[in-house]
Amino acid sequence: MNQFREEIDEGSKAPINPAAATSMAKLAVFVDGANMFYAQRKLGWHLDYRRLYDFLTKDYEVYNAFYFTSVPTPVDTSLEGFLRALTAMGYTVRRKALKEIMDQETGETFRKANLDIELVIDMFNTVDLYDVAILCTGDGDFERAVELLRSRGKRVLGVGSREMAAYDLINAVDRYIFLEDLREQIGKPLPDRDATLTRLPEAEGIAPRLADSQSELTGLARPADAPSAASRVLPVPRSITIPSPLQDVGEGQGRAGSEGP
């Protein structure tokens, strides 16, 4: 496993879009919001979704960037603000209501949502509109969907945490890019990195979870050409922080896939 990880890291010097010098490939981004939330907790620092968008789409002609998440009913005002901010940044937000399920044995109530199907449907419904797909998740359940996309001639890149990325997914994509290597490019600017995390109600019998305090970017125009898992409990952000000025984004890095071009 260590040798496998070393081989992946060795490929991290390759650009995200090696064909950018000769052509502008059309890009679609698919973000598994729940997986990215837990990845941030594992990393110990926050993603800046505006910087992530700019970083991933650099040198591409952007078809769309989808962000998939579940929401409670009614929607928390701070969460609604965060989702609207994502829309302003250029993401198309796909939301699904959380379902409350009671454990008949313990009487405990679980809040769960499943957006795997919605993500895969969007990947294949729009398959003729992009050349490259970037899948932001570490969930191995997407392995087969990735293989089918590649069989149709699409280039597929994965993005996620080194500690959470499933081997099956890493093996299936053309290249897997680790968030740990991109903190300076996509992390929140220094003043925001130590933002206080607020507590969430208890879920899945685990101690109260910490909510991700995402930056809400206001006044951002939506780009003219920009139209986010097996069942999991999805935390709800309780607060929004005002962002610091965005910094320039550097060149992308990734892993050269064994089967990729």
Q: Where are the beta strands (DSSP E) in the chain?
A: 26-32, 61-71, 91-97, 99-102, 109-112, 132-136, 155-160, 175-178
Cβ–Cβ under 8 Å, residues 65 and 53: yes
Q: Centre a 10 Å sphere on the Cβ of residue 223 and count the other Cβ atoms it contains.
A: 14
pLDDT tens for the chain, residues 1 to 261? 444 444 445 554 455 655 444 468 999 999 999 999 999 999 999 999 999 999 999 989 999 999 999 888 888 899 999 999 999 999 999 999 988 776 777 777 666 677 999 999 999 999 999 999 999 999 999 999 999 999 999 999 999 999 999 999 999 999 999 999 999 999 997 554 444 333 333 232 222 222 332 332 222 333 444 443 333 333 333 333 333 332 333 333 333 333 333
Paired with 71 in beta bridges are 97
Cβ–Cβ under 8 Å, residues 82 and 216: yes
Fold of 2-193: Rossmann fold (3.40.50)
What pLDDT sits at residue 193? 45
Q: What letter would DSSP give residue 22?
A: T
Backbone phi, psi, residue 148, to 5°: -65, -40
What is the tens place of the pLDDT at every residue in 148-192?
A: 999 999 999 999 999 999 999 999 999 999 999 999 999 997 554
Cβ–Cβ under 8 Å, residues 173 and 156: yes
Where do the domains of the chain lie?
2-193
Q: Centre a 10 Å sphere on the Cβ of residue 165 and count the other Cβ atoms it contains.
A: 24
Share of the chain above pLDDT 90, in %: 52
